[in-house]
Amino acid sequence: MNHVLHIISGLGIGGAEAALFKLVSGSNQIGDKHSVVVLKRIEGMEQDFFDAKISVEFFSFDKNPIREFFKLVTYIRNGKFNIVQTWMYHADLIGGLAAFIARSPNIIWGVRTTGLSANSKFSTKCVRFVCARLSHWIPKTIVYVANSAVQSHIEVGYSAKKICVIPNGFNLDNLQFNIRFKEEFRKTFNIAKDELIIGTVGRFNPAKDYENFVKACGIVAKNNPQTRFLMIGKNLDDENGQLKSWIQSSTYPHNFVLLGEQRNIANYLSTMDIFCLSSRIEGFPNVIGEAMAVGIPCVVTDAGDSAYIVGDSGVVVEKENSEQLGSALISLINKSDSYKTNLKNKAKERIQSEFTIKNVVLLYQKLYKSINGVS
């Protein structure tokens, strides 16, 4: 049996945090033991981990990084973990160095970013630069969440000899279409049955290119003025001045519904007739798979592994091309009901066959065995 220590920066609401939770909760049910170290306390998914009885140890790197680093080294050394797995750049660097000093025999890094944006924080660029140099010595394996992430990281210096690609997986029991929520939602926001809802989900960030989404929605509304546009995610709310100015410029500001950050995303996906991802940069965008699992047809930009996830069950367009994105949305709106139903069924079948959490857990188990020298 493996005892895996996972190290992550925080447990806020995000793709990496959700992927870690699903992996650990799924793995604990079939024999392996998993523990989690959190480098600094960030509210979001803590309660999910507690409710699932996952062992979580919190550190305070934001208050006293030097003291906490040596505390982490001691924790790893005394924990008798046969694998240390880190998640994302900062945890790769801090957790990787701590595990290396503690002489952990099997260190796995996790890379979850695809494009290397010029808009990245300076601190993130510095951490990535150092990680690229240390990648040749510290980790035994580097797990990339997306095929599209591999080459971009090799180009900035990451080791080309330690590549493993494991996508995110989805718990289909938690991704069910909720017709009652959809009906209540439409009643709450006074949306008629014949009005379409195009939605998007994600935090407000340059990588998500919400200006692109808003412009595309303006194009759609010009042709279909009854269409509503639902935006869900951190800072996608009325307090966001930048977002509100984009929406005002669309000439259809009253068609937008901004709900900010929400839990139970499957319920909100159920309200949508089309899901749209407008990103310029992605890794493996969980929300596309979640929308597909719920049975919502998707129109996405060709960012990260978006096209790979969608396959032939959705529509893929160029990044940063609002005209093309708007045209694709209009085209899908105008398709027959039978065409849309076929697309929904294809999407659900693709997630069920390729991207379940069970499949991902098995891939990690195979990886754990291989780095431990077990065939």
Domains 3-169+356-371 and 172-354 share a fold: yes
Burial class (CB in 10 A: 0-12, 13-18, 19+), 208: buried
Cβ-contact 158, 171 below 8 angstroms: no
CATH of 172-354, one of 3.40.109.10, 3.40.50.2000, 3.20.20.210, 3.40.50.300: 3.40.50.2000
Q: List Cβ neighbours of 151 (8 Å cut-off, separation of 6 or more).
A: none
pLDDT score at 375: 45
DSSP state of 108: E
> Domain residues of the chain, as ranges?
3-169+356-371, 172-354
Cβ-contact 106, 73 below 8 angstroms: no
pLDDT score at 152: 87
Q: 3-169+356-371: CATH homologous superfamily?
A: Glycogen Phosphorylase B; (3.40.50.2000)
Strand partners, 55: 35
Cβ-contact 196, 273 below 8 angstroms: yes
Strand partners, 260: 232
Start-end of H helices in the chain:
15-28, 46-51, 65-79, 89-101, 122-134, 147-155, 179-188, 210-223, 241-249, 265-270, 286-294, 306-310, 322-333, 337-354, 357-371
pTM (whole model) above 0.85: no
pLDDT score at 282: 85
**Residue type at 122 in one-letter notation:** F
What is the C-alpha separation between 74 and 189, in angstroms, rounded?
54
The b-or-e profile of 277-300 (16+ CB within 10 A means b, else e) is bbbbbbbbbbbbbbbbbbbbbbbb
Is residue 106 left, alpha or beta, with left meaning phi > 0 and alpha meaning psi from -120 to 50? beta
Half-sphere exposure of 237 (CA within 13 A, CB side): 9
- Tell me phi and psi for residue 202, to 5 degrees: 155, 160
**pLDDT averages per 10-residue partition of the chain, 375 residues:** 92 86 79 90 87 92 95 95 95 97 96 68 89 96 90 93 92 93 96 95 94 98 96 96 97 96 94 97 89 97 92 96 98 96 95 90 92 66
Cβ-contact 107, 128 below 8 angstroms: no
Rg (CA), the chain: 21
Tell me which H or E stretch contains 37. Answer: strand 33-38
